[in-house]
Structures are given as C-alpha cells and as structure tokens.
C-alpha cells in the first residue's frame, strides 16, 4: 500500500528477531479472542491413560483461566475432579511455602571468598525472612546469601497447571480437547490514514493490535478475532472500550453487509496461518489496506446555548470519509479502535495531524471525526441582544376545570402574561488561509424544557437538524470574514 513508510513502521512493535520458542506442553492450540478482555482457548493434546482412575496434569494453561468454564473431551473417559494450581513458583512464594521447614543458607566471606553453610528453620516470611539458627532468632539479609531448598512444595508450580482426575474405561493413548475461557487476552483495531487534501483522497491501513497479559504463551496457535463484546453476566463491558468522543455531524451507520464470516451478530477477523502469542507481548497484524478512497476536510464550530467568547476560538478540523463498498469508500466493516491521520508536508514526508476513536462501524457507514483545531479559522460567538417579549392576547388566558364542594363543578379563568425571550446572536467567522473555506456553525441547547424555539430571522438560511440544534454553512472568503446573525425566540 502507498502509505506512510517510516511513520507506519512506528506503529509496529520492535522488529521481529529470530528466537527459539520455549518448550511447551500445549498441543494443537486454537484461540478465539473477543474485544472485551476474554478469549476461548481450545487445546488438543495426546493423553496416555491407564484403565480406571488417572490423575492427568495440563501445564501451560492460562494463568487467568476461569476454572468453572473448563471442558475436557476425552473418548472413553469421564472427569471425576479438577483443580487449577495457580500458585506459581517465585522466590517469595517458595519462602512462604517453606515456613516451618528447614533450608540451607550459604554465605560467602567477602574478604576470602570462602563459603559457609548453615541449616536453619524458616519462622516467617513477611516483609523479610525470619529464621531460627542455633537457638538464635535472625533476620536474613536480602543480599550476600544463597538459599538451598530440599525440594519444591507439592502445591507450588513453575507453570500454570490444571490437574484433572479421570476415570478411563480402557487403557491406551487418545486425543483430548481441553477448552476454557480466560481473561488477559484482548484486541483492538488501529488505523493509519494518509490524507491528500488536494486530491480529496485517503489511504487507510488497518492493524489488529493483539495484547496477551494472560500469564501464558500460546505457541503456533490458530487465532480468530471476534469484533464485538460478548455478554459476561455481571461484567458486560470489561476490556477494551474506546472512549466516546463528542458526536460530530455527519456520522451515519451503514446498512451494507460486509463480505466477512459472521458468528451470530459479530464479524470474524482471522489471522492468516499460525502465530505464537507470547505472554506480555503486543502483536500487530494488518487486516485492511485501501488506497484512494474519497475523503474531505471541513470546519465545525458548536456553540452552547447563550455561549459567548471574549476572544475568537479555533474551529474544529473535521475529516469525513465512508466505509461503503464502491463509490469511493473503504469497503469493509471497521472494528472499534483509533484512527491516526497523517498528511504529507512540502517535502513529501508524512506528518501526524491528529487522531480520534471510532466504535464498531458496519460497512456503508459515513464517518466524521475531529482531527484537531484549525490555526487560521476562528469563530467568535457574541450575545448581541437579549430582551423580553410578550405573547398575543389569546395565549395569555388559561382555563381550569375544578370541583367545588359547595357549587359543584365550575370553570375558572386565569389571566396571566407568558414571557418569551428574544435573543440575537452574532457569530464572527474569520479565515486567514489563502483559500476560501466553509465553516459549519452549530447552535445547540435549543430544545430546553419547552422545546419551543423559533428563528424569526437569520442572515444565512440554516437547517434545523433536531429540536436541540440548528446549523448554518457559513462561506468565508480567503483572508476574510463573514458575520452570521440569528434571532431566536424562546420560552426561557
């Protein structure tokens, strides 16, 4: 794809280096990863069982396994009991498990280098290790000593291990499929976009950013990514959730079906071939590569009700494009993530100009996103006048039907004045660019309690987009200024 060169490489984690994968007890592994910090691991291993009761260990399962979700499919065998040993071997844990036991402490004389050893009893290991040696109670120093343990405690594991007791109907070797849900695996999308303002085109490359913090490496695994958050009972929105930026006019969900495999209401994004997902690693794989899609830049200023500024403020810079199939769109469904936008400078080098987040977008969506604030395009909203006006005579009278214990039902007429407010707003839009621009000025807050706002006059014809917002497309000449004046009648 004709995109960022060096800038695109900055998104990829450090260059891949040839390295030998550590040995693993895993078999043929398949992983389905969802957006909300959950994954399904399916691990097909070969077991050799004797007839009757067998205790079978499965090391190298996820350290964040949800044991209650474990299923084990073994022909001719049933599960009697299962245990997940998640107390992993560390120096502190080894000392914790050695409380009440004897160990050997080896010390070295710093002057002579001669080592001496002493057998001691571990009394406690809490903010320091306390021992009994020769009838004395001592605290072991953190440095200048070496500890020798007679054996490993039986409930302390070097690797996350699931132990299962099986009752086999017959002896022999057979395949077994271990499946479980785990936390610590998640993914999101990252997008690199190169915008050509003169041509009105955009190149977009989409990256799957996959993170493994599950405590386990998955070697040579088939990997399938699901775009969507599956329900998780009491934690339905865990894991990655992109921030929700303030809505920009022009966003519209699509109605086209993407040419991708579905799983229920979700789209699937498989990673081609097999890949090793190392623990504490972030991996990126390209899934979208589009050149020359249609795009345009615009300017937006949104003003709150009765909003005023003593000094002009920058208009937002808005980038608009679509995910439509055909017609100049990206032609795919877009999973949630961050879009980073670049433009080429006078020397042709791509330079970063802004980023923003998107949610899951069907194919055919129209996308409008803020990339930054314009240096040369300013807007100053001014409350020019605000005065009280009254209604016509017929609106001043209210009639109420009441029940009176003495006279029965009767009608009471109340004469009152209903006040209205007439507000004149002036929006001064300036442009220091050498080319004309159009600024979209949006006045919000018009709905209010009564939702009864009227616009008796405006210097540029506007569009009432909702009860709460009215918008004007304000043309501003190069190195020039345009003043938009609008009068609002409201009940507040």
62 is a domain residue:
no
Q: 120 lies in which domain range?
A: 91-148
Q: Decide: 446 and 487 in contact? Cβ < 8 Å.
A: no
Residues 180-196, mean pLDDT to the nearest whole number: 94
Q: Of the given ranges (205-209, 357-361, 419-423, 450-454), which has the lowest mean pLDDT?
A: 450-454
444 is a domain residue:
yes
Which tokens hold the place of 8?
């695109």
418 is a domain residue:
yes
pLDDT digit string, tens, across residues 73-116: 999 998 888 877 655 667 777 788 888 889 888 888 778 878 88
36 is a domain residue:
no
What span, in angstroms and rounded, lies between the C-alpha atoms of 264 and 230? 10
Q: Decide: 201 and 294 in contact? Cβ < 8 Å.
A: yes
pLDDT digit string, tens, across residues 262-317: 888 899 999 888 999 999 999 888 999 999 999 999 999 999 999 999 999 999 99
434 is a domain residue:
yes
What span, in angstroms and rounded, lies between the C-alpha atoms of 15 and 36? 28
Q: Collapse the DSSP code of 105 into the 3-class scheme (helix H, G, I; strand E, B; otherwise coil) and give the result.
A: strand
pLDDT band at 402 (very low <50, low <70, confident <90, very high): low
Task: Name the domain boundary from 127, 148, 169.
Answer: 148
pLDDT band at 420 (very low <50, low <70, confident <90, very high): confident
CATH of the domain at 472: 2.60.40
Q: Decide: 223 and 283 in contact? Cβ < 8 Å.
A: no
Mean pLDDT value across the chain: 85
362 is a domain residue:
no
Strands (E), 304-365: 313-322, 337-344, 350-358
The whole model's pTM is what?
0.74
Q: Decide: 101 and 87 in contact? Cβ < 8 Å.
A: no
482 is a domain residue:
yes
358 is a domain residue:
no
- In total, how many domains does the chain have? 2
Residues 441-459, mean pLDDT to the nearest whole number: 87
Task: Name the domain boundary from 132, 148, 164.
Answer: 148
Task: Name the domain boundary from 148, 163, 182.
Answer: 148
């Amino acid at each position: 794809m004709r995109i960022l060169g060096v800038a695109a490489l900055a998104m990829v984690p450090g260059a891949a280096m040839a390295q030998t994968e550590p040995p693993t007890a895993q078999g043929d592994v398949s992983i389905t990863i969802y957006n909300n910090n959950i994954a399904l691991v399916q691990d097909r291993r070969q077991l050799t069982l004797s007839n009757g009761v067998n205790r079978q260990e499965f090391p190298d399962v996820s350290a964040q396994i949800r044991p209650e979700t474990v299923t084990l499919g073994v022909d001719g065998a049933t599960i009697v009991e299962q245990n997940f040993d998640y107390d992993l071997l560390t120096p502190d844990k080894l000392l914790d498990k050695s409380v009440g036991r004897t160990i050997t402490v080896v010390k070295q004389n710093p002057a002579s280098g001669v080592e001496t050893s002493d057998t001691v009893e571990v009394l406690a290991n809490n903010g320091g290790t306390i021992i009994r040696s020769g009838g004395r109670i001592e605290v072991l120093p953190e440095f200048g000593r070496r500890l020798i343990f007679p054996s490993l405690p039986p409930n302390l594991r070097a690797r996350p291990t699931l132990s299962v007791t099986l009752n086999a109907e017959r002896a022999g070797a057979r395949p077994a499929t271990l499946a479980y849900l785990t936390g610590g695996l998640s993914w999101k999308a990252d997008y690199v976009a190169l915008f050509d303002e003169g041509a009105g085109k955009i190149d977009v490359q989409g990256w799957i950013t996959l993170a493994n913090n599950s405590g386990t490496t998955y070697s040579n695994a088939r990997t399938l990514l699901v775009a969507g958050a599956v329900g998780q009972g009491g934690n339905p929105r865990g894991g990655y959730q992109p921030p929700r930026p303030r809505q920009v006019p022009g966003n519209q969900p699509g109605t086209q079906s993407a040419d991708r495999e579905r799983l229920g209401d979700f789209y699937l994004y498989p990673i081609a071939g097999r890949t090793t997902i190392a623990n504490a690693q972030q991996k990126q794989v390209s899934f979208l590569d589009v050149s020359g899609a249609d795009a345009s830049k615009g300017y937006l200023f949104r003003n709150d009700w009765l909003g005023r500024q003593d000094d002009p403020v920058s208009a937002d810079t808005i980038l608009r494009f679509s995910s439509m199939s055909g017609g100049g769109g990206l032609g795919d469904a877009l999973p949630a993530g961050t879009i980073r936008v670049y433009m080429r400078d006078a020397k042709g080098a791509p330079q970063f100009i802004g980023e923003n987040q998107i949610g899951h977008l069907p194919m055919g969506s129209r996308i409008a996103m803020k990339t930054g604030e314009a240096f040369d395009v300013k807007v100053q909203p001014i409350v020019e006048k605000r005065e009280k006006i009254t209604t016509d005579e017929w609106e001043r009278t209210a009639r109420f039907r009441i029940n009176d214990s003495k006279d029965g039902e009767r009608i009471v007429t109340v004469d009152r004045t209903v006040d209205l407010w007439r507000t004149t707003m002036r929006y001064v839009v300036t442009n220091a660019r050498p080319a004309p621009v159009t600024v979209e000025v949006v006045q919000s807050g018009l709905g209010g309690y009564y939702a009864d706002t009227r616009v008796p006059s405006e210097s540029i014809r506007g569009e009432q987009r909702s009860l709460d917002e009215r918008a004007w497309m304000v043309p501003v000449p190069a190195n020039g200024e345009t003043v938009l004046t609008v009068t609002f009648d409201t009940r507040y």
